[in-house]
Amino acid sequence: EADRLRRSLATFKRMGTIGSFRDRFVSGMLARSYDADFAARCFAQIEGFGSYGFPESHAASFARLVYISAWLKCHNQAVFTCALLNSQPMGFYAPAQLVRDARDHGVEVRAISVNHSQWDCTLETRPDGGLALRLGFRQIKGLREEDAAWIVAARGNGYPDVESLWRRAGVHPDTLERLAEADAFAALNLTRRDALWAAKALKAPAPLPLFGPDGEGGMEPTVTLPQMTLGQEVIEDYLSLRLSLRAHPMELLRPRLPESLAHNQLGQAKGRVTVTGLVITRQRPGTASGVIFLTLEDETGTANVIVWKQVYEAFRKAVIAGRLVRVTGRIQRDGPTTHLIAERVEDVSPLLATLARPVIIDANDGRADASNRPVGSSVTPSAHHPRAQAKKLFPSRDFH
């Protein structure tokens, strides 16, 4: 009897047979002392599953979501991207790829700012009436939502400097460091290093009277910090935000990879080519007989790479662990879609470590008598091997 009910679920719309089970189902539950309302609701759930649990219904539900999503992406790209960023972690693509795609489609993406950002990413009106996307504090690694709420609540007409934010919002100096590392004080005309220096100085104990504002030696000499290179800025962006609005790492490494074709040129390429890019996704479907699909990204776009089982076995470590890989193979086209059939896969992740050499800012507890110490980035990756650093900086999304 239960098996007949199961079979009727798949055909009840066409055959109308599921209704014949209702009285038998409900009366059976009543005979076993179940409440009538509960029995009716149980059968309604079974009917509901019949409406959704089979391919026709699945396809219709999915098609509706796809249509709505495609319409939003086409006509309201800023709104679409903002919603996806605020729903992370989810989906196939990480925030870096979502932001990249939005910018490629004409969306102005504005950096995190202590004077403008909310916890969530938000939309701001541009002078031309369009919408710009403002990144939210949620993108900053290690920043708590509670601290972001205090920063927003105490902001008023804006913060003029790091110390005013500390005093008005009442957040811990560690929070100020997270903001400085994310370059969130740029709107205050503070560089990342200047803001971090100011934040670290707030950890110092209160000065002794002799060295206070009214005593001798109370003025700390002006410190000029070394300017960060573009590569260092990009690395710091990825460490703190896992994305950068300044440049793509491949744009900086391109001169060192002259043999690698830009991904936006693959559509016209023929024969055997070499490409290099960050691995943003790995897919290894169980039904694909050991085939692995890689999506690589460079400063021009993405490349789809197919790694057959025998190639995977030959270059297993690079395929599985590489964050920046160089692939040589042959072009294959299927209509408008271009794939690269891999013949050789090399892990060139150590190149990423050459973009910057992070060192620690040491403000010596904020005391001016040691203010001439070397100053660099605030973040030292916990993993020191170049490949391990690349894994920390540029994680991929892997699906098995």
Nearest to 96, CA basis, from 398, 399, 394: 394
**Residues 11 and 25 both lie in one domain:** yes
State how many domains the chain has.
3
**Residues 118 and 171 both lie in one domain:** yes
* Model pLDDT, residue 82: 98
* Model pLDDT, residue 220: 58
Q: Could you give the 3-state DSSP secondary structure of residue 76?
A: coil
**Residues 313 and 187 both lie in one domain:** no
* Model pLDDT, residue 183: 97
Domain span at 177: 76-255+361-379
In a domain, residue 397? The reply is no
**Residues 332 and 196 both lie in one domain:** no
- Under a CB-based contact definition with an 8 Å cutoff, are residues 365 and 203 in contact? yes
**Residues 213 and 281 both lie in one domain:** no
pTM of the model: 0.73
Instruction: Give the pair of three-digit tokens for residue 247.
Output: 């440049």
Successive 10-residue mean pLDDT values, the chain, 400 residues: 71 57 87 93 80 66 92 96 94 91 96 97 96 98 96 95 94 94 96 93 59 49 80 93 95 95 92 95 79 94 94 94 95 90 95 72 41 41 52 64
328 vs 25: CA distance, rounded Å: 63
Amino acid, res. 124: E
**What is the rounded (10 degree) CA torsion for 142, 191, 221, 171?**
-30
Instruction: Give the pair of three-digit tokens for residue 372.
Output: 């001439």
If you write DSSP's letter for every residue of 274-307 in order, what string do you get? Answer: EEEEEEEEEE--TTSTT-EEEEEEETTEEEEEEE
**Residues 227 and 153 both lie in one domain:** yes
237 vs 106: CA distance, rounded Å: 22
* Model pLDDT, residue 204: 53
**Residues 220 and 178 both lie in one domain:** yes
**Residues 233 and 341 both lie in one domain:** no
Terminal-to-terminal C-alpha distance of the chain:
39
Supply the CATH number for residue 337's domain. 2.40.50.140
Residue 362 to residues 74, 218, 377, Cα–Cα distance (Å): 48, 20, 10
In a domain, residue 226? The reply is yes
